[in-house]
């Protein structure tokens, strides 16, 4: 579950169950040998604007939500990794999102165009069936092995894909000596540093 808390009242204001959202998305036909990971939330990151946050889950999906007063709406939901998404991290002053997974990959996503598009043209949400849940958009839905990047990730594609090789336990986008870098901790005793030259 992902919850928005009121710290003054010490109770949640909004709750969404990622497993229920996943069950709704998976109502279509399944391939007989397909194994499903539950949609357990592993990591959350809040963008610098303060009202957009992302959630990485065990099902390999990345979900981006917008805080709207005392509730949240899901803006985006897309498959990011072949195994669980262990870490998500917004870069400062942007909607660039770093993700690290149990599949040993590190990806950089630019969610700005999708977030800004939905911010400029909000949809009416008055006739929703379940008001406490985010609006789940089905991205791709194709379970065939030959899935294109756009079908797999929806409208958002990774800007960078690093084969780290080890399960990512922690990551951070930071400037070192004036240059943007990614710091990565895995199951070894070393911290890896990857440059982000063009970002």
Tens place of pLDDT for every residue, the chain, 199 residues? 999 998 999 999 999 998 876 555 555 444 443 356 678 999 999 999 999 999 999 999 999 999 999 899 999 999 989 999 999 999 998 999 999 999 999 999 999 988 887 765 544 443 333 333 332 222 222 222 233 444 444 578 999 999 999 999 999 999 999 999 999 999 999 999 999 987 6
Give me the pLDDT at residue 36, please.
62
Planar angle of CA 79, 26, 167, nearest 5 degrees = 35
pTM score of the predicted model: 0.75
Report how far residue 56's alpha carbon sits from residue 37's, in angstroms, rounded to the nearest whole number: 13
Cα dihedral value 52, 168, 60, 121, nearest 10: 20
Report how far residue 95's alpha carbon sits from residue 154's, in angstroms, rounded to the nearest whole number: 17
Report how far residue 191's alpha carbon sits from residue 182's, in angstroms, rounded to the nearest whole number: 10
Q: What domains are there in the chain, each with its CATH number? A: 1-17+39-118+157-167 (2.130.10.10)
Backbone dihedral angles phi then psi of residue 118, each to the nearest 5 degrees: -75, -30
Give me the pLDDT at residue 22, please.
59
Give me the pLDDT at residue 114, please.
86
Give me the pLDDT at residue 115, please.
85
Give me the pLDDT at residue 32, please.
44
164 with 183: CB under 8 angstroms?
A: no
Sign of the CA dihedral running 77, 80, 86, 92: negative
Report how far residue 153's alpha carbon sits from residue 167's, in angstroms, rounded to the nearest whole number: 21
DSSP three-state, residue 72: strand
b/e sequence 166-176, b meaning 16+ C-beta within 10 Å: eebeebebeee
Q: Which tokens is 62 given?
A: 């990345």
Give me the pLDDT at residue 39, please.
84
Give me the pLDDT at residue 81, please.
95
């Amino acid at each position: 579950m992902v919850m928005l808390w009121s710290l003054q009242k010490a109770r949640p204001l909004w709750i969404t169950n990622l497993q229920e959202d996943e069950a709704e998305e998976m109502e279509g036909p399944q391939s007989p040998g397909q194994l499903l990971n539950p949609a357990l939330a592993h990591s959350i990151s809040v963008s610098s604007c303060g009202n957009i946050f992302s959630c990485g889950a065990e099902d390999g999906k990345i979900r981006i939500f917008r805080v709207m007063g005392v509730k949240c709406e899901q803006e985006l939901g897309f498959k990011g990794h072949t195994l669980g998404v262990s870490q998500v991290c917004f870069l400062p002053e942007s909607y660039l999102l770093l993700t690290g997974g149990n599949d040993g990959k590190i990806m950089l996503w630019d969610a700005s165009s999708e977030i800004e598009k939905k911010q400029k043209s909000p949809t009416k949400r008055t006739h929703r069936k379940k008001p406490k849940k985010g609006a789940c958009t089905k991205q791709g839905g194709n379970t065939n092995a030959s899935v294109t990047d756009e079908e797999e990730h929806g409208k958002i594609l990774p800007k960078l894909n690093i084969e780290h090789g080890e399960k990512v336990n922690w990551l951070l986008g930071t400037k070192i000596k004036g240059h943007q870098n990614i710091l990565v901790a895995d199951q070894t005793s070393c911290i890896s540093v990857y440059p982000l030259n063009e970002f």
